Amino acid sequence: RRYREAGVPLLMRVPGGTALAVAGPSLPGFGAGLLAAQRIADSVRSLRRPVQWADPLGGPGTVRSSLVVGVPVTLPDGGRPGLLLGEWTDPRRPPTEFWLTDLGRLPVPALLRLAKLARRVARDCATTGEQVGLRDFVGRSFKGWHRHTTLASVAYAARTLDTSGAYAARTLDTSSGITARSA
């Protein structure tokens, strides 16, 4: 709610049981009150469209395909309208993931690809974050934690955004605190 009031755009994963109201008058469920996100997506499954997206967990160049639908909805508190995204990885089964967004101006395929970036963040945090000490803050004062987290975040950004491979060829010798080239 605070994000909406501040005008911050949102794209967030929600459980299939999230209660929403269909906002499109020509869609099934309009006027039926609050319905579960899964039920709303299932009711418009005939409107699904295939979307291809790059899967960072599958290695370089891995492309996956999902069926996706976007349904205009409103939240239980009657706030501004949003868009429910439903994703099917298997067309014969129920939808597997749901997202709620107020970025309804964007095409549904672009929204799904944006949502899938969370997979890259999770992967990068588990690998690069660990390597640069992003989680190594136990026992520090607030000032020490803030300094450490700032420096670790800069190192994280440099390694994640590096396209030359220079950082991939380096390792950190934690015993001496120096950076050395890998052979």
Q: Any idea where the domains of the chain sit in the sequence?
A: 2-115, 132-181
SS (H, E, C) 51-82: EEEECHHHCCCCEEEEEEEEEEEECCCCCCCE
What is the pLDDT at residue 168? 55
Per-residue pLDDT of the chain (183 residues; tens, 9 = 90+): 677 778 888 999 999 999 999 998 888 888 788 999 999 999 999 999 999 998 877 778 889 999 999 999 998 887 778 999 999 999 999 999 999 999 988 999 999 999 998 877 777 777 777 788 777 777 788 888 888 888 888 888 888 787 666 655 555 444 445 444 443
Measured CA to CA, the distance from residue 56 to residue 124 in angstroms comes to 10
What is the pLDDT at residue 92? 93
Measured CA to CA, the distance from residue 136 to residue 115 in angstroms comes to 28
What is the pLDDT at residue 57? 79
What is the pLDDT at residue 163? 64
Cβ neighbours around 98 below 10 Å, total: 23
